[in-house]
Structure 1
């Protein structure tokens, strides 16, 4: 066999073996690497290159070395799952870099992290003032996570005492012109509903590159032909009209009741809805 053909065959063989061994290691190996996973990735890549290019008679030893490294990596991961001490020794412990708005200089030196690097990591988290940080922790994979002080955290419905319904994941129901039945089932929808929505837009599935349905049941489509504009449905104007009717009803309730407290409440709700309608008008009316 010519040497160049042998190199091609070994390269393909090494890629296939490396692919399956990496799948065996799992997703962590291709995400944020721990200390040992970093070493494993470098070593396994080097051995795979040896198997691919070395043309002597001992190339099969490289495959054996690959299997040993993968087995060792799996064994260490199993040990880490069973022992906290093993995890701390192999992957190190998380380090607190900021506490109560104060930078811990000793921990910064321990992690060999400069102030500029810390500030850069904080900016990635949209934090520009160290005093706004309750905790900043360097994780075992080197990532820095930040917890803002309570007064600087974004306001959520929970802070307001408002319960919100869980939001479903947006599902792709058409991809490359093909209807996806499984996402439709997950949303509790049918092909008939989807075809009806497409008919409103004068479209067929073959014209659609990607179609998605969000948690509110609204369909958005992206066509193969980018120059063609998707017709807008009339659902949003209908929603605007319904909200307008609600605002009128609230105003009517305010005028018709004799209870001063209820009158004030209805009036305030009507004013708030009027403000909301002004903001929504450019988006829901044609």
Structure 2
């Protein structure tokens, strides 16, 4: 069983510098690099199973986006937004000395990849967008906002796992062992118990979104999507409320004309832990 190496890179923000943590698997000298970027309230260890399946062929890098996991928290919560996350990833790629990369992004991590892949001269040459697209229903965002940043504490890992499972039904079916493996990196010791790993302030800019702001954000994301030139695989949980069938279909018909793969009995978002999901990602990344 491989284990990741933990490292950090300094990034610039509006108040100074912050350290972004990243987990690295495989040969650090391997020029084939895949970056795996997590969702809004998650962290880089979500990709442990996928990384173990890829690290024979790739240098696999799984950042903890700022404010999450082992990364610093920002002094100004206004910095918890996509453009700043994209800038941090540019700094990370410079640290890795990666001339080109493949990208796997779940939810928010997919939007970060989309932002980076849309830039002229982007280093992303192949991209997997996991259950996310330019159009996101506002009620799906409200559902996430209902639990994001709540000051919750648990007496045990088991208790935390049960709570996280209750708000993560869209992730699909996992064994208890798989779920505990996904839960442990989500927690930080707090006295005699545990709290969530992330800065509660990540909810501040998220909750500031209003229905009136949504059309402009959506238009900007579609413009970015239409600028993407690399082969793109779009994964969708068949029961997802965040990536609608209409949006997924549109993504196969414009921009990079993504190849769409749906997983039955999964909502938002497939966790890329079960063998079928891992196999689909491997086949796309390593394919001709």
Same fold (TM over 0.5): no
Normalized per residue, which structure has more strand?
A: 2
Normalized per residue, which structure has more helix?
A: 1
- When Rg is computed on C-alpha atoms for both structures, the one with the higher figure is 1
| TM-score (norm: length of structure 2) | 0.21
| TM-score (norm: length of structure 1) | 0.21
Larger RCO (CA within 8 A; separation ≥ 6): 2
